[in-house]
Chains A and B, each alone.
Chain A
Amino acid sequence: MNVQKIGLIVRREYVTRVMKKSFILMTLLTPVLFLLFIVIASLIFAYEGDEQKVIAIVDDTDVLHKAIPDEKNLYFKFPEEPLDQLKQDVQEGKYDGVLVLPPIDLEDKEYLPQYYSDKRLPLTLDETVKDVVRGRVREYKLKEMGITEDEMDRLNTRVQLKPQSITDKGENNSAYSNIIGAGLGYLMTILMFMITIVYGSFVMRGVFEEKVNRINELIISSVKPMELMLGKIIGIGGVGLTQFAIWAILMPLVVMLGQLLVPGAAQTAPQMNPEMMNQISEFDLGTVINEIANQNWMLILPTLVFYFIGGYLLYASLFAAIGSALGDDMNEGQSLTLPVMLPVILSFYIAMSILRSPDSSLAFWASIIPFFSPIVMPARLAFNPPFWQIALSLILLFAGVLACVWAAARIYRVGILMYGKKANFKELWKWISYRG
C-alpha cells in the first residue's frame, strides 16, 4: 500500500468536508441549539401556570386553625357563610371552589376532604392543596398522639451500604461508585453510538457520491481501491474527531452560559425519576469529584481510544462496502444498510441494560464479541471489568476489524465500478470471492 497516496486521499476527504459551509454551520450551531434547548426546557419546567384560584374552606372541626398561608397563585379564605351559600358564591364566581374538611379520625389512614366546584383544579394546584392539608393533618395527629416533631424525626433512619474490601483485589468503591460508573458508562456508550452511526453514514454517503459522480474508475487507475477506501475512512474519522474536539470545548461554555441565563437550568433540564433525584440530592460534591478522579483513567482513556478506533474502522468499512453496492438511487439502500445498523442499535440497548448489572453474563459476552464490544465495553469500563476481558475483547475487536476491512475492500473494489442497480447480498458474497 502506498502511504503517500493514502495521505493525499485523507487530506482531500478531510479538507473538502471541514471547509464545507454546512460542516462549519453544523459544528457551531449544535452547541447553540443545545443552549437554546436548555434554556427553553428550563423555562418550560419553571413555568407553573398563571391561573389564580381562590378557595373557600369550610373547617368545622378547626383542623387548620383558620390560618393557612397563601401559596403562589392560590388563595385560601375562611368565610362564615354556610356551605349552600358558598356553593352559590362559587357559581357567581366569587370563589373557584369550596373545600370541606371533615373531622380527623386518628385510626383512619385516609382523609377525604370534599372539593366542590364545576371545574377541576389544575394538577399542580391540586398537589399543593393536598400537601398543605397533609401537613396539617400530620401535625394534628402527632399532637393528639403526644409525639413531638423531634421524636418523629428520629424515627427516620437513612440506610446506605458502605462497601469494604476484604482483600486488596477487592473493588475499592465508595457508596456512589455504581451511580457514577453508570453515568460515565452512559456517556461513553452514547459517544460510541453516535460516532459509529453518524460518521459511518458519512462514509457511506461519500462512497456513494463518488460512484454517482462516476469518478471512481479515474481514481482507481491511480490508486488501489483499498487505498481509496482507507483514505476515505481515515479522512472522515478525522472530521469526526475535529467536530468532537470543537464540541468538547464549546459544550462546557454553553452549559455555563446556560446557567448564567437561567439559574438552576442544569438541575431542571434532565428528566430523572424521583428516586434517582433523591440519591443525587444526597450526594456530597466532594465525594463525587473524588470518585470521578479515582476512576482508573490511565486504563480507561487509552482503552476508550482503542475502542473508538476499532469500532469506527469496523463499522465504517462495512458502511463503505454498502455505499459501493448502492445503485444510482440512495433511497433504495435501506435493505442493505439495515443489517449494518442492526448490531449498532442492538448493542446500544444491551449497553443501556447492562449499566445496571455490569458483571452479568450478557455484559460479558456482548463486550467480547467484536460487533457489540466497541459500544458495550465502554459502558462497563467505569465498573473496573477484569483486565483479561478488556484484552480479549480488544484482540477480538481488531481481528474483527481486519476481517471486515478485508471483506469490505473486496466488495468495494467491485462495487464502485458497477453502475445502475443496487446489488443484493448474494451478489456481494460473489464479489468477495472474485479473484485479483
Chain B
Amino acid sequence: MNILELQGISKSFGDFQAVRQVDLNVPKGIIYGLLGPNGAGKTTMIRMITGITGPDEGRILVDGAPLREDHIRDIGYMPEERGLYKKMKVGDQLIYLARLKGMSSAEAKAKIKAWMERFDVKDWWDKKIEELSKGMQQKVQFIATVVHEPKLLILDEPFSGLDPINTNLIKDEIHRMNEAGTSVIFSTHRMEQVEEICEQIALVNKGKLILTGPMQVLKDQFKKHVFKVGFSGPLPESIRMNYQIDTVQQDWIKIKLEPEQDSNQLLQEFLKQGCRITLFQEVLPTLNEIFIEQVGESNRQLIH
C-alpha cells in the first residue's frame, strides 16, 4: 500500500516546465528521500502534493484516494522557506495553525502542551516569536508541522539552518514518529544527510525523475566492484600484475575487479602470498557519487 502516488504529473509556469511526467510511489511507513539539485523541481512537486498548486496533468493519490481538501489534515509540511508570525504568541500561533489544519481548539491545545513539554519549552506559551532565539523558533516550527499528527510528513530541506543539537533532536523525533507509523518524505540536495535516514529515494533533475528505488538496491546497482583490502607487509607482486589498483596506502589498498574476476579469488591470492589480512570490504558508492554521476549523465542526455 502506498501513502502517496504520483501518476504522470506535469507542471509548467509559462514556458518553463518545472515538472515533466513524474511517476512516483511512496510506500506507507517509509522514510523516503526526494533528491535533486537546486531547481530540479522538488519544491514544485511538494507544492502539488500539499495542494498549494495543482498539476497541469496527472493524478495525485494520498492513501489510495485522489487528493482532496480534507487530506490537508493527513499531511504535515515544513517548507524550505520557514517562518511564523513574529508578533504572535507561541501558544496562540500554534493553536491557530493547528485549527487551520482542522483541529478543534481544545484538541489543539492539549497536543501543543504535550509537544512543548516534550521539547522542554512549556513556559514559552505566552512568549512572542520575535523574543525567541533562532533555535527556539525552529522547535516551534517543528511543532507546527506535526501537531495535527499527520500520516504523511513532508520536510523540505529540514536541516538547513538548524544547529547540531536541534538537528539531532528533530532526527530523533522523525525516527520516533516513523516507528509509530508516520510516513516521511525528505526533500534535499544534501546527500550525506539523507544517506543514513532514508530507506528509499527518488532522484530528480530538471523536472524529470531519473532514478528511484531502495537505497541498498541502488547502491548495489551502481557499485563499481571496488574492494578495500587491509593487510600488513609488502604488496604481493602477483596482485600488482593481475589486478587493477585504484588507490594504494600504507596499510590498505583499493582494487577494482574486472567482470570476470571474483572477490573470493582476490582474497585467496592475498592469503596465498602469506599476507596478514586486517580488512576486506566491498566499497559501495555513496549517494553523493551516484547523484553526481546520474545528474551529469541526465544533463548530457538532455543536451544531446
Q: Chain A residues in contact with chain B, CB under 8 A?
A: 2, 5, 8-9, 12, 16, 210, 213-215, 217-223, 413, 417, 419, 430, 433-436
Contact = CB atoms under 8 A, between A and B. Distances in A.
Nearest to B75: A221
Given A214-B81, A221-B79, 12 more contacts: A8-B100, A16-B87, A218-B79, A221-B52, A221-B72, A221-B75, A222-B72, A223-B100, A435-B54, A435-B56, A436-B11, A436-B55
A142 B84 CA distance: 85
B83 interface: yes
B110 interface: no
A176 B35 CA distance: 78
A15 B84 CA distance: 17
A430 B14 CA distance: 7
Contacts, number: 64
Interface in B122-153: 144
17 contacts: A5-B100, A8-B100, A16-B87, A213-B83, A214-B82, A215-B85, A217-B47, A217-B79, A218-B78, A218-B82, A218-B97, A219-B100, A221-B50, A221-B79, A417-B47, A434-B13, A436-B54
B84 to A, nearest CB: 6
Contacts of A433: 14
Closest 3 CB pairs of A and B: A214-B83, A436-B54, A217-B79
A5 B99 CA distance: 8
Contacts of A434: 13-14
Interface string B47-73: 100111111100000000000010010
Interface string B173-187: 000000000000000
A221 B73 CA distance: 10
A419 B83 contact: no
B224 interface: no
B223 interface: no
Nearest to A9: B100
Contacts of A213: 83-86
Nearest to A223: B100
Interface string B37-48: 000000000010
Given A222-B72, A434-B13, A217 B56 contact: no
Contacts of A223: 100
A307 to B, nearest CB: 33
Nearest to B78: A218
Given A213-B85, A430-B14, A434-B13, A221 B51 contact: yes
B53 A218 contact: no
B231 interface: no
Nearest to A7: B99
Which residue of A214, A217, A221, A433 has the most chain B CB atoms within 10 A of its CB atom?
A221
B115 interface: no
B192 to A, nearest CB: 26
Given A8-B99, A434-B13, A434-B14, A16 B88 contact: yes
Nearest to B154: A221
A114 B297 CA distance: 105
B69 A2 contact: yes
B270 interface: no
Contacts of B252: none
B101 interface: yes
A430 B144 CA distance: 33
Contact of B83 (A9, A16, A218, A221): A218
Nearest to B79: A217
B14 A218 contact: no
Which residue of B11, B56, B100 has the most chain A CB atoms within 10 A of its CB atom?
B100
A222 B81 contact: no
A324 to B, nearest CB: 14
A181 B219 CA distance: 84
A196 to B, nearest CB: 26
B77 interface: yes
B280 interface: no
Contacts of B144: 218
Contact of B77 (A5, A214, A221, A435): A221
A101 B209 CA distance: 106
Nearest to A433: B14
A200 to B, nearest CB: 21
B159 interface: no
Nearest to B84: A215
A223 B97 CA distance: 10
Contacts of A436: 11, 53-56
A8 B53 CA distance: 22
B96 interface: yes
Which residue of A9, A214, A222, A417 has the most chain B CB atoms within 10 A of its CB atom?
A222
B78 to A, nearest CB: 8
